[in-house]
Structure 1
Amino acid sequence: MKAPFKHVVRLAAVSPLALATPLMAQSVASTASADATAQAPQDNAIVVTGTSVGRVQLKTPAVATSIGSDRLSMLSANSQADVLATVPSLKAEGGGGEVAANVFVSGLPSTGQYQFTPIQFNGSQTIASMGLNSSAIDIFKRPDLGVERLEFVRGGVSNLFGSGGIGGIINYIDKKGGDEDHGKFSIEGSNHSRVKADFALNGPIGNGYHYAVSGWYRYDEGPLVSGFAAKGYQLRGNISHEFDGGEFTIYGQAINDRTPYYGDIPLNGQTYRPAIGNNGSEVLTTETAALSGIAFQTPNGTFHTSVGEGVYVSGYSFGSDFKKDIGNGWAFNGKANIANYTHTFALFNGGDNVTNLPTTQTAFLQSYASQFGSTSATFNPANYTSSFTFANSGAAVPSNYLLWGDRVTDRSRNLSTAEGELNLTKQLLTGAIQHHFTLGSYFGQTSARDFDVTYSYIGDFDNAPQLVDASVTNISTGATTILSSNGLTGTGTGYTNNYANSKRYAVYLADQMEAGKWIFDIGGRWEKLDGYVSHETTQKIPGGVLPTNLPANTQLSSGLSNITWGSGDFLTGKVDPSSWALAGNVLYKLSDQVSLFMNASRGFFMPELRSVVIDTHDDVQSFQPEVIKQAMAGIKFRTARISGSASIFYATLTNLRNIQLINGPTPGSAPTEVVNLVSTRTYGAEANVTATIVPHLTFEGNATYQHDVYTLYTPVAGCTNCVGDREQRQPDFVSNFGLYFRHHLFDASLFDTYTGRTFTSDLNNIRLGGYNILRLDIGANVPVSGNQTVRISADIYNLLNNQGATEGNPRQGALQNAGQAYFVGRDILPRRVMGKLSYAF
């Protein structure tokens, strides 16, 4: 590296933008880097997640997965879901796009928003308390080339330390600077005008200080073309200083990004594959940029939709990590993190809650008959004339064209969060037993708003549909009713204005012991949550589309002339649950190549604050911690050519406050959050293996099977007796298998991710088939000089362009039916070919 450029890099490392990276939880200065080709758990990589002592895989009595930086870069085609889908025991589905992936861990029912598997960067949770609203935590921080490896640890004491993680901890561990400058730059292109530039730099600053900085910029109009584009950037970085017996690191992150989120659409009702639209082409998305100009009147002035922003986030995080050996086997660790984000989320709801399926023009009039003086039962087309025109051109909509009605919920969800952790560790030898005690405390606070406005619209049934204006005239009276204006059929059909604040206090004590061939981990945690919620009540008032310059004998429908809005009155509630967790692990080394392990825990999950139900007297519905008991036992092995593990597991969950976003009871109304109480029982098995076939060629694979049932289910949304049913959206089987060729001049990978059958709802009335996503990655490495390398690569996501429904319409809950002409759900993303040019030094 030439001197002038080196100075520029070092100067950038201390700029405010370069400080943008999340908080580091566990020091990796003394640990070995994960092998860059790692996918399955590696016995030679030191795992630091969910423990206070780093251990190699063969000596870790929990199940862990480590994925190195090169593999992470290869896997990240569309979203974090593409990475997490390769991890044993996880179902990760990214059909919605780059963010808000649905992630499920075996044995635990959830809505898929990382409820039991928090995302951490360097051991610090992205948001100190989840569940204040339903936004997914992968929106706020994204992995990039600055990540050294990903660790996922499940079971054992992983739920005790720091912020905890009941189902497992997803932890991205960043690279830190060393004594030499290193860097990587890449630019990626794909169909639908995708361009992404990434970089990562790290090295020395001087006087014992080191830097690391990374980031990306991306513009993308796909993979489903709707007229909404993804555009934005992220910058992250850290500065570390090593001193006698300790290390201090500061971190920072800045992000400003917008990306579309693909909602549920009508699929073919028999095949659950993309349906054919009016123009004869497959309908892959019904989202449309024609909605970008939508506006209507409210008591607070004119409402302008933010649908064009998609999922938008702008904000920052800063953190610090301090470690010091204070002598005589004692060490001190402290860390803190703060973050503040502005965030909006435009959600397409998968139906207008009136027709909910593509419909003929006559059937549309019948469904909306109550808005022009008739009823669905008595409507007679012969008594009316109608007009259907395209809103943008005024041209008549062909009479044989189907219409599709949907709703958009504009969500404003700004939040701020802060957390801190302090602990003392003590190494002690008692006889033949080596102890490592950890006594720690944790505090986290999060405040978030949930301000939602829902409106409904109608368009033709095609990709990125055109909006449709509709009116109907009573022949006998001559009265005309406008049912759709600029595509709008309902203005302000739903309104939410909630605030939530969460404070978490925890203390924990653990002892990690080693005695000869035995390793024992035991520990406990106590935690208290102080939660405050505030919900504004609503009212139906005049508003919406203003009735100006209407012709004589013409009126607006009730959906256009009335609006649901806030009353100005708020219901408030407070909760203060507390609970405890215990965990115990044991591992026995049969030999240097084989270990047996078992872990068991009694943990808890603090209910999501958005599930708090308040009555008119500010009383709060019962709000108790949800108890989760887990056990796992198995074997780990390693030889010169093959390594892996196999295990069985069992889990029970008691009194989960399950939250479902379900259509409201009134036709056309917005979805509402419905809470019901469930308990579950699950057992299963998982295994993984890495085998060297010949030099440079390895086979890697993992598979997880589970069988789960509800043991308690309070009636909700058509599921009056679901005890004994399987959990919705949880696959019975997931697997990943691949061949990986690695040579210093050429590399290639061919691997498949399979997601097994799932039920669309707790009623178990519709079962979706499994699907495969095959990936191909090939690359050529060109040495330049010294340690400089240029790599040219190509990646094909969904190589065979397979199709498969990943979910039904969650908004319809158990009320969705099979056997209809159309089925509302979401398909996996289509094939995409990406090319990348990288330079590393």
Structure 2
Amino acid sequence: MRKLNKVSLAVKNVLIASSMAAVASPLLAQDSEAEVNEVAQSKEAFETIVVTGSPGGRTQIESAMAVTSVDSEMIKDFQPSSESEVFRMIPGIQVAGTAGPGGNSNIAVRGLPVATGGSPFVQIQEDGLPTVLFGDIQFGNNDYWTRFDSSVERVEGVRGGTAGTFASQAPGAIINYISNYGQFDGGLVKLTTGVGYDETKVDFRYGGAASGSVNYHVGGFYKKGRGPLDAGYVVSDSMQLKANLTKYLADDASYIRFLFKVADTQEPNYTGSPALAKASKNADGSYNISDIREYPGFDGRDKSNYSIYNQNFKVVNRQGDLERVPLSGISTKSVAIGTELHYEFEDEIILDNKMRWTSMSGSFNSSFLSLNPVGDLNLVYANGPKTGQAYDKPYYDGNVNVNTNISDIGSFVNDLTLTKEFYVDGNTLSVRGGLFYMTQDIAQDWHPNRAYKELSGDNPAMLELLDDNGNQLTANGIAGYSDAWGNCCAREVDLAYTDTAPYISLDLDTDMFTVDASVRRDTVKASGWAVGSSGTPIDVYVSGEDVTLPALVADGDSEYLDYSVSYNSWTVGGLYKFSDNTSFFVRGSKGGRFNADRQTMSGKINADGSLTQAGEVAAVDFVNQYEMGVKNRGDVLGGYYTFEMTLLQGDFTQSAYEPTSTPSCPSGGCVLDNEYESQGAEILGSLRVDRLSLIANATFTDAQARAAGGGEWVEAWEIPSLTYTMSANYEVTDELIAGVNMTGQTDTYARGSLDKYEGSTTWGASVRYAPTENLEFSVTGYNILDDFAVRSPGQIINVDESNNTATLFVNPTLGRTITASVKVTFE
């Protein structure tokens, strides 16, 4: 009999209700969702069957690896403010969660810092297949393309070990969004609105049995508004529809599944804010920062640099003409069609094949924030109510307005496995062989403009720069086209990567222990071309403003890629079963990840398309990890608990090229070669006693870094020594549930003159009231104490040593944010 878990939450728009959905046992599909929830509440989390990064068929407590399953109800209770904050619920995943709903987060894992951007060691999957092959595609990070909605039953996170052998490009972790497959009849519609700010979201889902052997599920959402950091115009305008249909075959165990997804999203990404703080100077000249608070006129808790006066800007397009583009944050468009075949032959042979074709594109149109002293600059307001007046503030925002067209980031992926079980003296030996194949296209053109903007959180205006004679040097605040980061980044690329990876695993299961080993060999082939900036800027006349500005266009040096790289990943692990309620595991592994588009235009590719010697060294980053853990569950105070702890140690060397301006590369164009070591612990626990339920996790990390080849070890930057989350709910009555949650981190080391900044904790709360079985009203609050909580550092701009006050650039969480919703469930 088939066995699948719980259900999910809510999400989607009503416009596109055509595609089908599905999956789950026709036997179980006759049960109602209410009955399932009742059973699920008495069920222990360790009984979840792990399907991510493992041979499959084992529960969490039986799996010799660090794996966490976060279901939709847990995510609802935690109330994440963005997609990446969901990942903070998974021990070992270290992400600030401050970039906003559009994405562009730097997702670290187990103390492995993000040297450039994105998620170099973390793969995000949907239903067991990657959304993009590489997690750190420039202006295409893997968190752009996935949205949690009611079509998702749970999110599984596997860290280390088998992540590197059961997936490509994921030696750190796999985060897998697993769909609801319609295993239970029922659905819901949920309407959520912001309280005191403009944002409305409609979620929906419906699924169940279409016949005795066919299940389906449809879910999605529509969202629109200005967002909690009021942009002055609509910055959120998103929809997603996911559907699946499952046909069970004659043996009632094999099945064929069809999956469909369409998404059209536009969401803001937040790029930080100014702040003030107390500064204490260290002996080496660096500063410790404490008492971080809002900056006058720009409170990052409820303000951003989105503005009605900067809703769009001009770029010099690929044809060399001026073109106006919207400042729309991160936009995505995708259509995906997939299949999944599970077929059980005689003689204990099982075939699994997952396939997905995806057409995907988007754009990155954002106004980054920085603080620059005005000094002797002659600046006047370019627009807004103060047009023409002198700008008299001490700092201006001099960061880039960037437009990146992501014309193609589509892919095709297929993962085929055959599994055979052998029985030896009452023990089970499982042999699994697989072949993974994925093609990934990356076609983009970049347009980063130099810009002058007012430093304000209230519809900041653009600023004009004047020379000593009063002549205008900018056009509506733009000082140069595509030259914000020097000559690097008026760029156009059309790249293709093909990853072919055979893999094999052996798994021995006895009454007392399990032992497994697996190896994977990836061969990645790179092709395509990249064109850099022309060496000499061209002059562009801006009619209407009577200004001629410099511009760079993608008409410079070219690279043509024609190379391949092969490398091996392996892992060996074992688990000892002390009892049905306690297990202990150990694991060692070495996993590789390929440096893809971040190698281009870095001097590491020869004229014939092959890699230089330096390019061959930098082509693959390897991560070594060693871990041991304990998992335990039992009864306590008339209820039950679960507990797991993993101790770990790891190291890796990373070589990357950073063309843009980042904290690790302030002027852009840096080759970053560093070694890293990390050790720590991951803890996850849950408790259910009577009407109280609680789940909490913590990640302890001691991470060190140094230049490759030697040097002094220093604290790794932007990796907190402790991160933690907690969510608790209490059923006051059968109709009323109250909840509280928190997420936070301790002091964190930064870079440059900012030695470290203080930790913070953000608290949330919720109340849910269900007057009838099928109707629920709820109010949720994020950061209910309205703390100025900083999770990701920026830099020190200035220190006034007369009063030990520092002016900073930081990345704070949202301030107090309240939402109200009504949900209707039905069968």
Distance 1:122 1:303, change over 3 A: same
SS at match of 2:552: strand
2:245 pairs with 219, 226, 239, which one? 239
- Separation (CA, whole Å) in 2 of partners of 1:54 and 1:141: 26
**Amino acid across the alignment from 2:46:** D
SS at match of 1:70: helix
1:58 pairs with 41, 58, 61, which one? 61
- Residue 704, structure 1, aligned to residue 699, structure 2: yes
- Residue 652, structure 1, aligned to residue 648, structure 2: no
- Separation (CA, whole Å) in 1 of partners of 2:495 and 2:545: 43
- Residue 68, structure 1, aligned to residue 71, structure 2: yes
Contact 1:297–1:546 at 8 Å: present in 2 too? Answer: no
- Counterpart of 2:673 in structure 1 is 677
- Counterpart of 2:258 in structure 1 is 250
Contact 2:779–2:820 at 8 Å: present in 1 too? Answer: yes
1:364 pairs with 374, 377, 384, which one? 377
- Counterpart of 1:321 in structure 2 is 340
- Residue 218, structure 1, aligned to residue 242, structure 2: no
State the 1:635 CA deviation. Answer: 1.5
- Separation (CA, whole Å) in 2 of partners of 1:818 and 1:34: 55
**Amino acid across the alignment from 1:225:** D
Distance 1:298 1:198, change over 3 A: closer
Distance 1:275 1:746, change over 3 A: closer
Contact 1:439–1:509 at 8 Å: present in 2 too? Answer: yes
1:530 pairs with 517, 525, 536, which one? 525
- Separation (CA, whole Å) in 1 of partners of 2:697 and 2:137: 34
State the 1:591 CA deviation. Answer: 1.8
- Residue 349, structure 1, aligned to residue 368, structure 2: yes
Contact 2:409–2:442 at 8 Å: present in 1 too? Answer: yes
1:472 pairs with 467, 471, 476, which one? 467
Distance 1:744 1:673, change over 3 A: farther
SS at match of 1:363: coil
- Counterpart of 1:6 in structure 2 is none
- Counterpart of 1:18 in structure 2 is 19
What is the Cα-based RMSD across aligned positions, in Å? 3.3
Contact 1:769–1:804 at 8 Å: present in 2 too? Answer: no
**Amino acid across the alignment from 1:808:** P
| 1:290-301 correspondence to structure 2 within 5 Å | 290-295=309-314, 300-301=319-320
Instruction: Return 322-331 or 465-474, whichever deviates more.
Output: 465-474
State the 1:167 CA deviation. Answer: 1.1
Instruction: Return 705-714 or 453-462, whichever deviates more.
Output: 705-714
Contact 1:34–1:66 at 8 Å: present in 2 too? Answer: no
- Separation (CA, whole Å) in 1 of partners of 2:316 and 2:352: 54
- Separation (CA, whole Å) in 2 of partners of 1:281 and 1:632: 39
- Residue 572, structure 1, aligned to residue 567, structure 2: no
Contact 2:588–2:627 at 8 Å: present in 1 too? Answer: yes
Distance 1:759 1:206, change over 3 A: same
Structure 2, unpaired ranges of 5+: 1-12, 30-34, 279-289, 485-489
- Separation (CA, whole Å) in 2 of partners of 1:167 and 1:281: 32
**Amino acid across the alignment from 2:678:** T
Contact 1:20–1:238 at 8 Å: present in 2 too? Answer: yes
- Residue 43, structure 1, aligned to residue 46, structure 2: yes
Q: What do the CA deviations read for 1:705-763 (whole angstroms, capped 9, x no partner)?
A: 1111125437xxxxxx97402222111111123422246422222121112222233x5
- Counterpart of 1:374 in structure 2 is none
SS at match of 1:157: helix
State the 1:509 CA deviation. Answer: 0.8
Contact 1:445–1:501 at 8 Å: present in 2 too? Answer: yes
State the 1:107 CA deviation. Answer: 2.6
| 1:362-761 correspondence to structure 2 within 5 Å | 363-365=376-378, 388-393=380-385, 395-397=387-389, 400-402=392-394, 403-413=396-406, 414-463=408-457, 464-474=459-469, 480-494=470-484, 495-539=490-534, 540-546=536-542, 556=547, 560-567=548-555, 569-612=557-600, 613-614=602-603, 617=607, 620=611, 621-623=614-616, 624-640=619-635, 641-653=640-652, 655-660=653-658, 662-663=660-661, 672=668, 674-692=670-688, 694-713=689-708, 723-742=712-731, 744-761=734-751
| 1:788-803 correspondence to structure 2 within 5 Å | 789-803=774-788
Contact 2:139–2:364 at 8 Å: present in 1 too? Answer: no
Distance 1:628 1:177, change over 3 A: same
State the 1:317 CA deviation. Answer: 0.8
- Counterpart of 2:286 in structure 1 is none
Distance 1:596 1:395, change over 3 A: closer
- Counterpart of 2:4 in structure 1 is none
Specify the structure having the higher radius of gyration (Cα). 1
Q: What do the CA deviations read for 1:15-53 (whole angstroms, capped 9, x no partner)?
A: 8852589x99xxx99xx9999989999222222211122
2:107 pairs with 99, 103, 106, which one? 103
Contact 1:122–1:171 at 8 Å: present in 2 too? Answer: yes
State the 1:182 CA deviation. Answer: 0.8
- Separation (CA, whole Å) in 2 of partners of 1:53 and 1:488: 55
**Amino acid across the alignment from 1:432:** G
Aligned residues: 763
**Amino acid across the alignment from 1:60:** S
Q: What do the CA deviations read for 1:590-638 (whole angstroms, capped 9, x no partner)?
A: 1222211111112111123322423673563423322211111121111
**Amino acid across the alignment from 1:78:** S
Distance 1:250 1:15, change over 3 A: farther
SS at match of 1:521: strand
Q: What do the CA deviations read for 1:639-665 (whole angstroms, capped 9, x no partner)?
A: 122220122111011x31234454399
State the 1:75 CA deviation. Answer: 3.4
Contact 1:626–1:656 at 8 Å: present in 2 too? Answer: yes
SS at match of 1:47: coil
SS at match of 1:453: strand
Distance 1:205 1:194, change over 3 A: same
- Separation (CA, whole Å) in 1 of partners of 2:298 and 2:591: 54
Q: What do the CA deviations read for 1:333-375 (whole angstroms, capped 9, x no partner)?
A: 1111111112101233333xxxx42x34x5324xxxxxxxxxx
- Separation (CA, whole Å) in 1 of partners of 2:554 and 2:218: 45
State the 1:242 CA deviation. Answer: 0.2
State the 1:530 CA deviation. Answer: 0.7
Contact 1:538–1:567 at 8 Å: present in 2 too? Answer: yes
Normalised TM-score (structure 1):
0.84
Distance 1:664 1:114, change over 3 A: closer
Distance 1:530 1:125, change over 3 A: same
Distance 1:482 1:633, change over 3 A: same
- Counterpart of 2:760 in structure 1 is 771
Contact 2:248–2:255 at 8 Å: present in 1 too? Answer: yes
Distance 1:609 1:278, change over 3 A: closer
2:126 pairs with 105, 121, 135, which one? 121
- Residue 183, structure 1, aligned to residue 187, structure 2: yes
- Separation (CA, whole Å) in 2 of partners of 1:279 and 1:622: 44
- Separation (CA, whole Å) in 2 of partners of 1:14 and 1:433: 53
Normalised TM-score (structure 2):
0.85
Contact 1:124–1:163 at 8 Å: present in 2 too? Answer: no
Distance 1:17 1:397, change over 3 A: farther
Contact 1:234–1:255 at 8 Å: present in 2 too? Answer: yes
State the 1:697 CA deviation. Answer: 0.8
Structure 1, unpaired ranges of 5+: 1-11, 366-386, 475-479, 551-555, 715-720
- Separation (CA, whole Å) in 2 of partners of 1:38 and 1:531: 49
- Separation (CA, whole Å) in 1 of partners of 2:199 and 2:272: 23
| 1:262-301 correspondence to structure 2 within 5 Å | 262-268=270-276, 270=278, 273=292, 275-277=294-296, 284-295=303-314, 300-301=319-320
Distance 1:441 1:41, change over 3 A: farther
- Separation (CA, whole Å) in 2 of partners of 1:36 and 1:90: 30
- Counterpart of 2:8 in structure 1 is none
